[in-house]
């Protein structure tokens, strides 16, 4: 079962899909993407295939992972690990199809019956956020996630703090205490402001606060944690078990959030999750990307004991959810019931790709990049 061909498709809104074909006609799909850096990751994927993978046995997933990671003098980082991640997803998809089993059965079998998911609340005005929260709960979600704020100064005003607290308070009042709320700081908020905010948000019993600081300031997490009993989460911008290792050893985090399209794929995220379990830390895979990553995340979530909740959104823009479903021949695989997704029983990662739609959409000109934010004085702000 040799790898004989691969194709890459850059599609709206900001995704990169990988199709891998074997000598016996099996096809696997992966999603190697760094949002806003699709062309760069594409080059990395092409380099791996042209210089290593073509002609190799598709079944040797762990061996290929080690070769892709350790075969170069320079290791890690978002570009290489995202390229490896998409390839890894596709190889697991092929292996599952080869054996007629969902990937989670190959990872030791299920340790749960279904996967709890959350959805994003958009908007900025408190009344609009509360209304959308109610709508999502009526749809069936039992976990909601929202941004804390947009641009925040290094030390900001009391009114900024109060505005953030009021938004969270409005959502809590709207949905009651039977719904969990996750609050994403997105690394936009300094250590000083995070300490102030987590203390002010204590009464609202958040499920977790995500990225209270940027990953490069993870050494501040313990200091922030001293100001709250709210669980702290991070990991969206961390790419391997070695990135998570010091964080776990320090006991500074309660939830890790590796992204299966950034942190080395199913192979590596399963190892990160198992390593986190040894430190009594939960895993909540980050997934604001496409349907292939979501499908891969469900497979991984079914097979790890310390799974908490999974991102059901496809993008930071809710409109992209409809686009994601158009890439699938059967979108019902992601249907929500009582806040959960039932695991697919189809082999591989469990989705049927509409290749005709993907090919048609890949002909479009796509150039997605995040905004550049600036503070009032003109200096660069974190987006």
Q: Give per-residue pLDDT as tens, 208-252.
A: 999 999 999 999 999 999 999 999 999 999 999 999 999 999 999
What ranges do the domains of the chain cover?
3-101, 105-348
Q: Which of 21-25, 81-85, 368-372 is the least confident region?
A: 368-372
Tell me how long the chain is: 383
Give yes or no for residue 320 having a pLDDT over 90: no
Contacts (Cβ under 8 Å, ≥6 apart) of 60 = none
Fold of 3-101: Enolase-like; domain 1 (3.30.390)
What is the CATH architecture of 105-348? Alpha-Beta Barrel (3.20)
Confidence at residue 323, expressed as pLDDT on a 0 to 100 scale: 61
3-state secondary structure (DSSP) of residue 8 = strand
Give yes or no for residue 322 having a pLDDT over 80: no
Confidence at residue 34, expressed as pLDDT on a 0 to 100 scale: 93
Reported confidence tier of residue 163, pLDDT bands at 50, 70, 90: very high
Confidence at residue 126, expressed as pLDDT on a 0 to 100 scale: 59
Other beta carbons within 10 Å of 198: 23
Give yes or no for residue 100 having a pLDDT over 80: yes
Confidence at residue 13, expressed as pLDDT on a 0 to 100 scale: 86
List the structure tokens of 178.
């039977």
Place of tokens 């989460």: 233
**89: closest CA among 281, 293, 287, 285?**
293
Confidence at residue 148, expressed as pLDDT on a 0 to 100 scale: 87
3-state secondary structure (DSSP) of residue 202 = helix
Please state the separation of Cα 352 from the chain's center in Å.
Answer: 21
**272: closest CA among 289, 255, 251, 252?**
255
Confidence at residue 321, expressed as pLDDT on a 0 to 100 scale: 55
Q: CA 233 to CA 184: how far, in whole Å? A: 9
Q: CA 290 to CA 171: how far, in whole Å? A: 27
Yes or no: say if 260 and 289 are a contact pair by the CB < 8 Å rule. Answer: no
Residue 234: φ, ψ to 5°: -165, 170
List the structure tokens of 213.
């600081």
Residue 306: φ, ψ to 5°: -95, 20
**For 153-163, what is the mean pLDDT?**
93
pTM of the model: 0.94
Confidence at residue 317, expressed as pLDDT on a 0 to 100 scale: 44
Q: What is the CA radius of gyration of the chain?
A: 20
* Prior bond of 13 cis (ω within 30°): yes
Dihedral of CA atoms 114, 115, 116, 120 in degrees, nearest 10, equals -140
Confidence at residue 124, expressed as pLDDT on a 0 to 100 scale: 56
- Written as one string, the DSSP assignment of 85-142 is HHHHHHHHHHHHHHHTSBHHHHTT--SSSSEEEEEEE--SSHHHHHHHHHHHHHHT-S
- For helices 265-277 and 78-99, angle between their N-to-C axes, nearest 10 degrees: 100
**For 35-61, what is the mean pLDDT?**
96
Q: CA 260 to CA 266: how far, in whole Å? A: 6
């Amino acid at each position: 079962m040799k790898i004989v061909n691969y194709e890459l498709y850059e599609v709206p809104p900001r995704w990169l899909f990988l199709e891998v074909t074997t000598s016996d006609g099996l096809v696997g799909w992966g999603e190697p993407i760094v949002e806003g850096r699709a062309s760069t990751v594409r080059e990395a994927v092409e380099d791996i295939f042209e210089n290593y993978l073509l002609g190799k046995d598709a079944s040797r997933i762990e061996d290929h992972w080690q070769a892709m990671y350790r075969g170069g003098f320079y290791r890690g980082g978002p570009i290489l690990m995202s390229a490896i991640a998409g390839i890894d997803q596709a190889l697991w998809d092929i292996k599952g199809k080869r054996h007629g089993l969902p990937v989670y059965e190959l990872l030791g079998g299920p340790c749960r019956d279904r996967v709890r998911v959350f959805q994003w609340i958009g908007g900025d005005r408190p009344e609009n956020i509360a209304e959308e929260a109610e709508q999502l709960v009526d749809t069936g979600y039992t976990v909601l996630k929202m941004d804390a704020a947009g641009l925040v100064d290094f030390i900001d005003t009391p009114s900024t703090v109060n505005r953030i607290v009021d938004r969270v308070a409005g959502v809590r009042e709207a949905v009651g205490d039977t719904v969990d709320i996750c609050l994403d700081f997105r690394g936009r908020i300094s250590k000083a402001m995070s300490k102030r905010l987590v203390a002010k948000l204590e009464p609202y019993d958040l499920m977790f606060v995500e990225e209270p600081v940027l990953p490069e300031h993870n050494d501040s997490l313990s200091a922030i944690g001293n100001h709250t009993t709210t669980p702290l989460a991070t990991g969206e911008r961390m790419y391997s078990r070695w990135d998570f290792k010091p964080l776990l050893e320090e006991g500074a985090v309660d939830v890790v959030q590796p992204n299966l399209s950034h942190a080395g794929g199913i192979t590596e995220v399963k190892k990160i999750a198992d390593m986190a379990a040894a430190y009594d830390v939960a895993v909540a895979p980050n997934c604001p990307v496409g349907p292939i990553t979501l499908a891969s995340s469900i497979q991984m979530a079914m097979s790890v004991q310390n799974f908490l909740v999974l991102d059901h959104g496809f993008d930071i823009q809710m409109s992209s959810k409809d686009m994601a479903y158009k890439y699938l021949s059967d979108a019902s695989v992601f249907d929500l019931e009582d806040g959960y997704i039932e695991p697919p029983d189809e082999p591989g990662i469990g989705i049927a790709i509409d290749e005709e739609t993907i090919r048609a959409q890949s002909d479009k000109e796509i150039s997605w990049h995040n905004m550049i934010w600036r503070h009032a004085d003109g200096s660069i702000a974190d987006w």
